Amino acid sequence: MKTNYLKNSIAIFFTILASFYSTKAICQDVYGSSRKQWLSIAEELKPNLTKTVETPQRIVSLVEDKSSFQGWKTVSGEPLTDLYEKSFKEKKTVILDFGKHLTGYFSFKVTPLRGTPDAPLKFKLIFGEVPSEIATPFDPYKGDLSRAWLQDEIITVMDVPSTVNISRRMAFRYVKIELLGSSQYYDFKIEQAQCTAVTSANSTPTALNSSTDVMIKKIDSIGLNTLKECMQTVYEDGPKRDRRLWIGDLYLESLANSYSFKNHDLTKRCLYLLAGLSDQNGYLVGTVFETPEPHPQSGQHLLDYSFLYNVTLKEYLTATNDYETAKSLWPVAKKQIEIAQSYVLPNGMMDFEKAKKDWWLFFDWNEALDRQTALQGLTIYTLKQTYELAKLLKKEDELKEIPDLIKKMSSASKANLYDKKSGLFTSGDKKQISYASQIWMVLANVTTPAEAQLALKNITNHKDAVIPGAPYLYHFFISALIESGLKAEARQALTTYWGGMVAKGADTFWEVYNPNDEYLSPYHFFPINSYCHAWSCTPVYFIRKYPEIFQ
């Protein structure tokens, strides 16, 4: 009896001791004192935004038109002087067209025309990136994301005359001003409508070769606008919605930036911010906010985005030769590799089921997509890119086991995922055929060059293939085509896909684009989609990096 009691007490003592040490391990910050320094470097690099005052180009009215994007087009209305000189009480509503997409602060003046102003004015303003946003009723709201993202505001102006400043930063080309309330004892007009546009893109990219095809020139210039608008104090995903830093968007924006505005400090700031805001165990968080003070969206872990952090760091180093930054952030990259390794099964395949449970595996906006093969491919790609980074930093000793792991995972991919008969990679138990699988296997370079070309050609002709849901995945498709030597196909795909948006009137490229479904929305309400979206800007990168293909 007594010995049992003693045994139990000893066991309890050791359990408490063990749990004390494991709690301590969890609480310990793997990046130690670096974190503070990373955040202060990020803060120092916060850019001053360039401000430009823009004015409306014309008054428009909206016309329902089946052949226009999402069923609406604008037509020129009365001259702007009508607004600035005549009674707004009579006019009641106006739609201003600024002629281009802007991100900034809208203001206008209200000036008395007759009588003494004896009461406030009430207006409703709606800002739209595309015409349908102004035309589509927002309520009853059917979307999944917050209704508050939609850019409508009701404002009360207490003093007339005065300048009305809308404090919320807006992303728009069109603004509708509607009068909701006014006094019968005085009249007024609207004057000096303007937008103070802001961006951290502060240089003029070089011009393309003069002989460049007209459509490619257009795609490049719209891509540049898209990127410029998303470049704020971080690379935002979209200046209308989300308005924050996501690793996947950062990766693509920083690529395009390296070949255009070359604001490398913005990339550096974002890399440090993400590192500084990672979890204590070294896991990156997929998205972070800047205000009221920098903080992560806790628990938002995207495995594919975490991996792309490493690729972004490598590309940053290649573009800048900033070894100091790359060295300082190397522990973060190394940690992501450890995470990857922890999911590799003895047979060389990623433990997809476990990864799916532990993480958000994004890859594309497409619920139907089986992500097993894409994850396998991206992991190999990340291992390779990180190993390259290690070599540049002379740290390959720290990744000694990686080259063998790459080999093992590549042959496992071939053995388990490649269907020789069809020349395509499949994914999951149901052997799904998708663009995503071919793309990531080609980028992982697990095939012979001939097999890579075959997979990409076959997927384009496959009637039932799961196609990309957003330009994000389309970027990697173009990349895979180029990597496998299908240059003409890459040019054709880029021109058709992004050219499709141009033909539909895009001023900036969109978050979601399916040529066959203009109303597609991952959030189940198309006006909440972002129509100036970071990950859509990458034609800039392709066109400028590969002039022999595109210019």
Give residues in contact with ligand RAM (CB under 6 A): 237, 242, 246, 248-249, 362, 511, 535
Supply the minimum distance, in Å, between the C-beta of residue 70 and ligand RAM: 18
Q: Give the 3-state secondary structure of 283-332.
A: CCCCEEECCCCCEECCCCCEHHHHHHHHHHHHHHHHHHCCHHHHHHHHHH
Dihedral class, residue 100 (left if φ above 0, else alpha if ψ from -120 to 50, else beta): beta
Provide, rounded to whole angstroms, the least separation between the CB of residue 249 and ligand RAM. 5
At 363, list the tokens: 């890859």
Q: Which residue, 249 or 370, is less far from ligand RAM as judged by CB?
A: 249
Bridge partners, 121 (sequence order): 157
> CA–CA separation, 34 vs 32, rounded Å?
6
Give every strand in the sheet of 295-296, ordered side by side: 245-246, 287-289, 295-296
- Quote the least distance from Cβ 304 to ligand RAM, whole Å: 9
Q: Which is nearer to ligand RAM, 106 or 246 (CB)?
A: 246
SS3 401: coil
Which residues partner with 157 through β-bridges?
121
Rounded least distance, CB 213 to ligand RAM, Å? 29
Q: Whole-angstrom Cα distance, residue 350 to residue 252?
A: 25
C-alpha 250/C-alpha 246 separation (Å) is 6
- Decide whether 270 or 412 has the Cβ nearer to ligand RAM: 270
Closest CA to 349 of 236, 491, 444: 444
Shortest distance (Å) from residue 377 CB to ligand RAM: 19
Rounded least distance, CB 242 to ligand RAM, Å: 5
Closer of 426 and 529 to ligand RAM (Cβ) = 529
**162-174 exposure pattern, b = at least 16 Cβ within 10 A, e = fewer:** eebebeebbbbbb
Nearest distance, CB of residue 252 and ligand RAM, angstroms: 9
Q: What is the DSSP letter of 350?
A: B
Question: Left (φ > 0), alpha (ψ -120 to 50) or beta: where does 58 sit?
Answer: beta
Written as six digits, the tokens of 436 are: 């995503």
CB of 195 to ligand RAM, least distance (A): 24
Find where tokens 């961006």 sit: 199
For residue 298, the minimal CB distance to ligand RAM (Å) is 16
Q: Give the shortest CB-362-to-ligand RAM separation in angstroms.
A: 5
Which CB sits closer to ligand RAM, 246 or 272?
246
- Alpha-helix residue ranges (DSSP H) falling in 28-183: 34-44, 80-85, 88-91, 131-135
Is the backbone of residue 198 left (phi > 0), alpha (psi -120 to 50) or beta?
beta
The DSSP secondary-structure symbol of 149 reads: G
Reduce the DSSP state of residue 167 to 3 states and report it.
Answer: coil
Question: Burial level of 76, CB count in 10 A (0-12/13-18/19+)?
Answer: exposed
Residue number, 305 or 425, with CB nearest to ligand RAM: 305
Query: Taking the complex as a whole, how short is the minimal distance between the CB of residue 165 and ligand RAM, in angstroms?
Result: 29
Closer of 249 and 451 to ligand RAM (Cβ): 249
In sequence order, the 6+-apart residues with CB closer than 8 A to the CB of 367 are none
Cβ distance to ligand RAM smaller for residue 399 or 512: 512
Residue with the shortest CB distance to ligand RAM: 237
Q: Which is nearer to ligand RAM, 220 or 237 (CB)?
A: 237
DSSP annotation of 434 reads B
Nearer to ligand RAM, 60 or 245 (CB): 245
Judged by CB, which is closer to ligand RAM: 251, or 352?
A: 251
Contact 267, 312 (CB under 8 A): yes
Minimum separation from the CB atom of position 308 to ligand RAM (A): 10
Q: Looking at beta carbons only, is 240 or 384 nearer to ligand RAM?
A: 240
Cα separation of 495 and 490, whole Å? 8
- Lookup: tokens for 319: 């573009």
